[in-house]
Amino acid sequence: MGNNSAWATTTETNSRLQGDADRIYGLVFPGCTIDRDVPLVLDKEFGVDLVLHLVTGSILTVQEKFREHKWIHKLEFTQEVENATGTQYQSDGEWYKLIANLYLYGWESKSAGSLAKWAMLDVLHYKLIIEAAGGLHRLGTLEHNDKYGKASFYAIPIKRLSGCFIADYRKFK
């Protein structure tokens, strides 16, 4: 289903940026520990990539998405609404499953291996912004990814979501 080389590029980008993401979690939540060994069902069915264990004993769930540097000029948050669009495997995308507490979204630096820009969103407040606007279509434009997975998503200018940031790259420069 789709282009494996594009999927490999996305996977490699995510792997390259995990160290920088972990540094960000430590800056935002000093002393936290990171558990990336979560059951696959949490990601596929609930949009959870990792669990942060805070020093108080509390936990937060996190979804991550990192984009290659070539997309930094757009500064768009992409919210997947459908997978395998137009195929026999068509299914609801992340928007309909996302229950993570936080969403770390970022763009890779030109030199690769670190995040040039990023924002950490409070998912509840993100969803409330979308609700108040009347839906994703009111804030973004519907796009289709034909490279792999045939996903459909809304591209939302990140500045429209600044009301749900709990931290962003400007705070930690």
Which distant-in-sequence residues (6+ apart) come within 8 Å of 3 by Cβ? 147, 148
Q: Look at residue 151 in the predicted model and tell me its pLDDT.
A: 92
Which distant-in-sequence residues (6+ apart) come within 8 Å of 152 by Cβ? 80, 81, 82, 85, 93, 142, 143, 144, 145
Q: Look at residue 1 in the predicted model and tell me its pLDDT.
A: 46
What predicted TM-score, i.e. pTM, was given to this entire model? Answer: 0.91
Mean pLDDT (the chain) is 92
* Token reading at 113: 């291996």
Ordered by start, the domain boundaries in the chain are: 4-172
The Cα 160–Cα 154 span in angstroms is 13
**pLDDT tens-digit map of 80-130:** 999 999 999 999 999 999 999 999 999 999 988 899 999 999 999 999 999
Q: Look at residue 139 in the predicted model and tell me its pLDDT.
A: 98
Q: Look at residue 9 in the predicted model and tell me its pLDDT.
A: 63
**pLDDT tens-digit map of 46-86:** 999 999 999 999 999 999 999 999 999 999 999 999 999 99
CB hemisphere CA count around 76 (13 angstroms):
17
Could you tell me if 155 and 75 are in contact, meaning their C-beta atoms sit under 8 angstroms apart? no
